Amino acid sequence: MRKLRFFIISAAALLMLTACAAGNQASHEEPVTVVVSEDFPHYTSINGLSDKADTVISGKIVDTRVEEIDDMIHTDSADEELNPGGELYVEKNIYTIYTIAVEESFKGNYKPGDKLEFKELGGQIGDITFVSEDAVSISSDHQYVFFLATYADSPASLLNPVQSLYIYDPVDKDEADPKLMEQAVLKSASPDNDLTLSVEALLEIKDKFN
């Protein structure tokens, strides 16, 4: 069973979380902001990105919500070598959950009209706010291309928040020949992305995996 363990909370954040968990002092009377840095694999090519993703789709965001999710891999607390000291305190991370309405599938088992959820680290619950340093702004105004890893017991995740999300504004099929896909606007959602996704690359992914 695959579990997420790509997230590392900074030292300052750990101190704040420890304070929040310490007895009656953790009354959350004042807002707490936790800045989180993510540890994720870097890909050197679109081919490497698409090979690793089990789902590549385009679609629009139709709903969002915020939840706490336990995304850690837990060892057997009775195994002293794997888990010295016994059972550990479980700390959940705060995620924003997005619902995608699928427009087109380039890889995977989803088809146009399907919906699926993916999560992005960050959000606010009560007086605690998680802020991811690498999170990108996601709007319901745009269509996107998503490179995702899916899970049986958790919403999907971007392979990484920098390289796995692209703004995709296709030509309206009612106003243009559907074959003129190259007229679509396709650009990275993150300014820090060193990969360039082209329409030709998307078509190659679709031909390879579908």
157 — pLDDT class (breaks 50, 70, 90) = very high
- Side chain identity at residue 208, one-letter code: K
Four-point Cα dihedral 17, 22, 24, 29, nearest 10? -10
**Could you give the CA distance from residue 35 to residue 55 in angstroms, rounded to a whole number?**
29
Burial 143-160 (b: 16+ CB within 10 A, else e): bbbbbbbbbeebbbbbbb
With a cut of 60, say whether residue 196 has pLDDT above it: yes
Can you give the residue ranges of every domain in the chain? Answer: 7-75+91-209
Model confidence pLDDT, tens digit, residues 160-170: 999 999 999 87
92 — pLDDT class (breaks 50, 70, 90) = confident
> Is 28:128 a contact under the CB 8 Å cutoff?
yes
Q: Higher model confidence: residue 140 or residue 83?
A: 140
DSSP code, position 23: G
Instruction: Report the half-sphere exposure of 200 (CA within 13 A, side-chain side).
Output: 1
**Could you give the CA distance from residue 37 to residue 34 in angstroms, rounded to a whole number?**
10
Model confidence pLDDT, tens digit, residues 172-187: 655 545 555 555 779 9
2 — pLDDT class (breaks 50, 70, 90) = very low
Model confidence pLDDT, tens digit, residues 40-85: 899 999 999 999 999 999 999 999 999 998 876 554 445 555 455 5
Q: Higher model confidence: residue 151 or residue 182?
A: 151
